[in-house]
Amino acid sequence: MKEMEDKEQVLMAFYTQYYKGADFDDIKQLDQHLSQEIGEERYAELMKNLEDEGLIFGMEQVESREKAGEDSPMATNEGMLYVNDILNLPSEAVEDHQLDYLENHLKTSKLNFTLEPVETYIYKTIEEQAQQKPNENSP
């Protein structure tokens, strides 16, 4: 199995959260949870790298965008496209099914998570969304 880079895994958590339809409180909660579980220093380093690469907005920027009444996801458009690219996901897919595509790809790929809190969050979110829409056809 090929291990994903830690930064890719963290970005994937925020990608998953976006398609869950998270609000500012959800973003803040996930940010704090990952910081505690991964370790503050390591997590801060990963977030700085992602922010420097333009793949995420930092928490300060998310907060200021939220206060301005703007949409405030953690992942940038570039970050979303980056995840689509590394996972070979169709970026033009209907948003309601994006987590289905993510789940299907993770099940069939040879990618391996190394950050357990990220893996747990992603699969838990996918399961919760499936429970909310059990009768819809998935791709």
- pLDDT tens track for 57-99: 988 898 888 888 887 788 999 999 998 888 877 666 555 678 8
d(CA 56, CA 70): 15
d(CA 15, CA 12): 5
| pLDDT value, residue 95 | 59
Element (DSSP H or E) covering residue 3 = strand 2-3
Residue 86 corresponds to which tokens in the numbers above? Answer: 């590394």
d(CA 22, CA 18): 6
d(CA 12, CA 133): 22
Neighbours of 117 (CB within 10 A): 19
d(CA 6, CA 2): 12
| pLDDT value, residue 76 | 92
| pLDDT value, residue 139 | 44
22-26, 105-109, 113-117, 120-124 — which is least confidently predicted?
105-109
Chain centre to alpha carbon of residue 58: 14
Q: pTM value?
A: 0.86
Cβ atoms of residues 102 and 89 within 8 Å: yes
Neighbours of 16 (CB within 10 A): 25
**CB within 8 Å of 127: residues ≥ 6 apart:** none
Q: Counting beta carbons within 10 angstroms of the beta carbon of residue 110, is it exposed (0 to 12), middle (13 to 18) or buried (19 or more)?
A: exposed
